Amino acid sequence: MLRLGVNIDHVATLRQARYRGFDRGEPCPVDAVRQAEDAGAHGITAHLREDRRHILDRDIWAIRDTVQTRLNFEMANTPEMIDIATRLKPEAVCLVPENRAEVTTEGGLDVVGQVDAITEGAATLGQAGVEVSLFIDPDAQQIEATARTGSPFIELHTGAYAEAYGDEARQAAELERLARAAEQAKSLGLSVNAGHGLNYENTRGIFLVPHLNELNIGHSIVSRAITVGLGQAVREMLELMEGYKAG
C-alpha cells in the first residue's frame, strides 16, 4: 500500500501571514494534524526551517505530542536541527536543503558534495532511533552517494515532473528518470519515498515509478482544504493513491 504523509507547513504559512510575532493565531497546525489523521493520513510531515518562516518551535513540540501515526520531521543538516531532532524523537527525519530566498524547498540535497557531513548527521540521528531519509533529485550520483551515507531512505524530488504539466513528452521523460532512480535505489538497498509538487491531477502518473513506500504532499492538500475541508481533501488524495503496485 502506498502511504500518504500530509505536510502541514502551509497551514502555518497561512497563520503567519496574519499572526507573525504573536503566540497565538489561526489556523492551528495541531488541529490540522488531528483532522488529517482522522481522515486516514498515514503520517504527518512538518519542516522546521532555520528562519522559522512557518512552523515554529512551539508548533513542532505540540505536533510531536499530538501525532498518533508517525511524524516525519523535515530539517536542514545543521547542529541546531540535529539537537532538536534527537530530543524531539520523530519517527523519521528527512534532511533537505534550505535557501533563505526560496518560497519552498527547491531542488534536492547535494549529497555528493556533503557526504561526510551528511554521514555524520545521519549516524547521530540513527543512534537516537530516528529513521533517516535524504531528499534528493532523481540523479544516479546522488543516489550512489546516499547509499554511502548509511541513510536507509531517499525521498525523490518530483518537482521537475510536476512542473512539466501540459508537456506530455517532458512529463514522460521525468517519469522515466524517476523510475530509473527508484530502481537504482532499490538495487542499493535503499527504500524510496517521493514528493514535491504532487497534486490531484498528477499524482496518479507517479504510479509508473516502482518501489514507492510513501508520498509526502502538502500544498495541494492544504489548497484543496480551503474548498472542501482538510479531512475531505485528505480522503480525496487517498482515493487517488489507491491501486498503486510497488513492482
How confident is the model over 143-168, as a mean pLDDT?
Answer: 97
Check residue 247 and give its pLDDT.
75
Residue numbers annotated as active site: 47, 74, 196
Confidence of residue 216 (pLDDT cuts 50, 70, 90): very high
The answer to whether 220 and 212 are in contact (CB under 8 A) is no
Q: Nearest to residue 137, comparing CAs of 118, 119, 160? A: 160
Is this model's pTM higher than 0.85 or not?
Answer: yes
User: 95 Cβ partners below 8 Å, 6+ apart?
Assistant: 75, 76, 77, 109, 118, 121, 122, 132, 133, 134, 135, 151
How confident is the model over 229-238, as a mean pLDDT?
Answer: 98
CATH of 3-241, one of 3.30.1360.120, 3.20.20.70, 3.60.110.10, 3.40.50.11030: 3.20.20.70
User: 131 Cβ partners below 8 Å, 6+ apart?
Assistant: 91, 92, 93, 152, 153
Check residue 85 and give its pLDDT.
98
Beta bridge partners of 194: 156, 215
| Res 34 pLDDT > 50 | yes
Check residue 99 and give its pLDDT.
65
What mean pLDDT, rounded, does the chain reach? 96
Check residue 98 and give its pLDDT.
83
**E strand intervals along the chain:** 3-7, 43-47, 71-75, 92-95, 131-136, 153-157, 191-195, 212-217
Exposure of 237 by Cβ count < 10 A (0-12 exposed, 13-18 middle, 19+ buried)?
A: buried
Check residue 102 and give its pLDDT.
46
With a pLDDT cut of 90, the percent of the chain lying above it is 94
